[in-house]
Chains A and B, each alone.
Chain A
Amino acid sequence: MNKKEIIICRCEDVNLEQIHQLLEQGYTNFEDLKRLLRVGMGPCQANTCGFLIQREIAKFLNKPMEEIPVHKVRPLITGVQLSKIAKDDKK
């Protein structure tokens, strides 16, 4: 299958070919890829692409998957409207 047609990050529309291109250029950790391709920055916050990219990095570096750090998990767990946060703040 054409690598361009294999979607890795659905939120930001990033395909496998783009991941492989950056790995070849020397960007070999998730944080690098996130900043240059936006993988993991969308609504699901890497819940889908996290493991897929971890696996691609492991394959590329020829290391076991558990040695590949995943990205820093940031709040929020789910999207919340700013107006609701403001309303619920009773101070």
Chain B
Amino acid sequence: MKTDILIIGAGISGVSIAYNLAKKGLKNIHVIDRGYFTNGATGRCGAGVRQQWATEMNCILAKRSMEFFSIAKDVLEYPHDLEFKQEGYLILATTKEEHEQFKKNVTLQNSLGIPSRQLNKAEALKIVPHLNPNAFLSATFCQTDGHLNPFKMTEAYFLAAKKLGVTFSFFEEATSIVVEHHKITKVITNKNTYETSKVVNAAGGYSREVGLMAGIDIPVYAENHEILATEPIEKIQGPMVMSFSKNIYCQQVPHGAFLMGRSNPEAAHNHSVESSWQFLDHMSRTLMDIMPKIGDLRVVRQWGGSYNMSPDRQPILGDTDLLEGFYMACGFSGHGFMFAPMTGLLLSEVILKEKTTIDMESLSLNRFKNNDTFHVEKSVV
């Protein structure tokens, strides 16, 4: 089969790249995915979208993506509800160091047009009254952060891309990429052989493996992050509540359930997405510390999903001088869903050799060549 470009991965990044390319007029775009619709990280994420970051690049990617999310339903002509709500993220500072760091974060965010602000305890309690006042010192809040349904957002891009002629196949896994004379010639999958000169690696947790198929060593790894959902109740919490030092994020989604997750510092670097009782123990104790009232709710289900971790916790976006026609959108470190509109726009610009909307040097694979010069994002759970 012949195709002008093959995108590996139909998660939020892959569908956004496909849509943006098709909208700019590119034809013969095909997307493959190894599993069912949103089987990977996108369909397993915590459904939060935020702009409160500690690195300039993450702030810019998040803010511009949020602007798209707020008009996505109309632009993509999606017939269903995206469940987009902007009721904020409330990020708790639980140590003096965190309070000082957040002061700097807010200054950076404000300088980039993100309307976050630092709150004292009383102000934070006004927004989320069931917080344990003894569990934190202060907080930051950004009203325009919020919630978006990952399945619906992905379907919106997927349907819009299909309308523009993009083709998709699911349960199809790339097994090798054929390179001849420093150029891509073929991608072989478990079902087909594609003659193509351009490949986009949007493979989420499997980005490293897809890179290696093309002989590109991408310094990323997959790590299981667990999450749970409770029974639904009437609305009692508007914003996502988050703490980096206590290792928790917790929000009530429009459906009524609470979703909460945390990272496991001892998680192995592999493709496990299984559930553990240890997670339930740690999660329930952390929750009882910061929001004991939510402890009355029953856990209905727990699951796991892969973060694709990069060395500086910022994505790797763009092309590489190591192989013509090979493009990357990976290493999102748990934030690919909320950056997807910018991922799609920037990759389409790089692939079509247009001037990019923002300077992408600090997102390139090259930045890891000099191992100690990059700036690590610390605002991550």
Chain A residues within 8 Å of B, Cβ to Cβ:
27, 29, 31-32, 35-36, 38, 41-43, 45, 74-76, 79-83, 85-86, 89, 91
Contact = CB atoms under 8 A, between A and B. Distances in A.
A35 B170 CA distance: 15
Given A31-B36, A36-B151, A74-B275, A89 B301 contact: no
Given A31-B37, A35-B43, A43 B281 contact: no
A36 B302 contact: no
Interface stretch (B58-66, B94-102, B236-244, B284-292): B284-292
Contact of B301 (A27, A41, A83): A41
Could you tell me the dominant secondary structure of chain A's interface residues?
loop
Contacts of A42: 300
Nearest to B285: A86
B36 A85 contact: no
B302 A31 contact: no
A-B residue pairs, 9 tightest by C-beta: A79-B298, A83-B295, A86-B284, A85-B284, A89-B281, A35-B151, A31-B36, A86-B288, A82-B295
A91 B281 CA distance: 9
Contact of A35 (B38, B280, B294, B295): B38
Interface in B11-56: 36-39, 43
Interface string B297-313: 11111110000000000
Contact of B297 (A41, A75, A81, A89): A81
B231 interface: yes
Contacts of A36: 37, 151-152, 155
Contacts of B281: 85-86, 89, 91
B229 interface: yes
Contact of A74 (B151, B280, B302): B302
A89 B277 CA distance: 10
A83 B280 CA distance: 11
B298 A45 contact: no
A76 B300 contact: yes
A45 B303 CA distance: 13
Contacts of A76: 299-302
Contacts of A82: 230, 283-284, 287-288, 294-299
B301 A35 contact: no
B104 interface: no
A46 to B, nearest CB: 10
B182 interface: no
A57 B255 CA distance: 26
Interface string B135-167: 000000000000000011001000000000000
Given A31-B39, A81-B297, A82-B294, 12 more contacts: A31-B36, A35-B37, A43-B298, A74-B275, A74-B302, A75-B301, A76-B301, A80-B299, A81-B296, A82-B287, A85-B299, A86-B295
Contacts of A79: 231, 298-300
A27 B300 CA distance: 25
Contact of B292 (A32, A83, A89): A83
Nearest to A30: B36
